[in-house]
Amino acid sequence: MSKVNEAALKKRTSISTLHKMKQKGEKFATLTAYDASFAQLFDEQGVAMLLIGDSLGNVVQGLDDTLGVTTDDIAYHTRCVRRATQGALIVADLPFMSYATPQQACENAAMLMRAGAQMVKLEGGEWVCDTIRTLVERSVPVCAHIGLMPQSVHVMGGYKVQGKSEEDAARILRDAKAVEAAGAQLLVIECVSKKVAKAVTEALSIPVIGIGAGPDTDGQVLVMHDMFGISAGHTPKFSKNFLIETGNMQDAVARYVSDVAEGRFPAAEHSFD
């Protein structure tokens, strides 16, 4: 059988796959990806989901934040990632101010889906639910993102851990339930206390993917540069340099995937109380 036919027969991870993993208590690993070479490496090592994140503004474009990233940027990198993968679910970020209205969200989501995304991700809680409903009604799967939201960094006053007070924790849980009810099929929760993340994960039927959210979420996501220890400047507390302990990139990714699946990552030192 030709390699082309073998590739065609390989089954790509679906949203349903991740839902079944949650039901079985099986944890899964996600990484950001921005180009074909790394996307192929991650795909071959069994990363379940690849996110073309607006974090590319920081790690690829050298920006101070994610706000300068455009939909055209995300679409370009999505095409690169999709061409090189066979197994991972491909999720693309809707960048800053690309979903200010439901109509705008539909237009930009269509661009990303045509570029190869199987799902789009957007930030926001209750206020974004009308947009989520509109997208889902028009056959665009949605991954929501709550907690620390990098696109709202200036409103939040910086990159701060969320959910510290009882009031803030309750708001995060309300947001999580609201986006699920609106039709979101996955949820990313970033930089919250592990207690809050656990409560959200247990309250929702959809898979919850944590980044800086402790060990009790259904999956984990890291920015690839952080996982390899090559990010310029500050390395987040919630990340881990898997490359330094394995010696090569393939083994580093494989270790990350297995550590997430077996509950070894994140450990206490990567979590917020």
- 265, 226, 243: which is closest to 58 by C-alpha? 226
Residues making up the binding site for Mg(2+)? 54, 93, 123
0.85 exceeded by pTM: yes
Round to whole Å and give the CA distance between 90 and 58. Answer: 20
Read off the tokens for 1: 């059988």
User: Which CATH superfamily hosts domain 15-270?
Assistant: Phosphoenolpyruvate-binding domains (3.20.20.60)
Residue 10's pLDDT band (cuts 50, 70, 90) = low
Give residue 12's pLDDT.
93
Instruction: Quote the crossing angle between the two packed helices 194-203 and 166-182, to the nearest 10°.
Output: 30
DSSP 213: S
Round to whole Å and give the CA distance between 254 and 41. Answer: 10
Domain assignments of the chain as residue spans, ordered by start:
15-270
Handedness of CA 107, 112, 113, 118 (dihedral sign): negative
Burial category of 65 from C-beta neighbours within 10 Å (exposed 0-12, middle 13-18, buried 19 and up):
middle
Round to whole Å and give the CA distance between 69 and 111. Answer: 15
Rg (C-alpha) for the chain, rounded Å, is 17
Residues making up the binding site? 54-55, 93, 121, 123
Query: What mean pLDDT do residues 53-62 have?
Result: 95
Read off the tokens for 94: 């809707």
Query: What mean pLDDT do residues 239-251 have?
Result: 95
Q: Which tens digit of pLDDT belongs to each residue from 87-97?
A: 999 999 999 99
**What mean pLDDT, rounded, does the chain reach?**
93
Note if 269 is an active site residue: no
C-beta separation of 99 from 123 below 8 A: no
Read off the tokens for 202: 């247990």
C-beta separation of 53 from 98 below 8 A: no
Residues making up the binding site for 3-methyl-2-oxobutanoate? 54-55, 93, 121
Round to whole Å and give the CA distance between 256 and 85. Answer: 18
Q: Residues 190, 202, 245, 269: which is the catalytic one?
A: 190
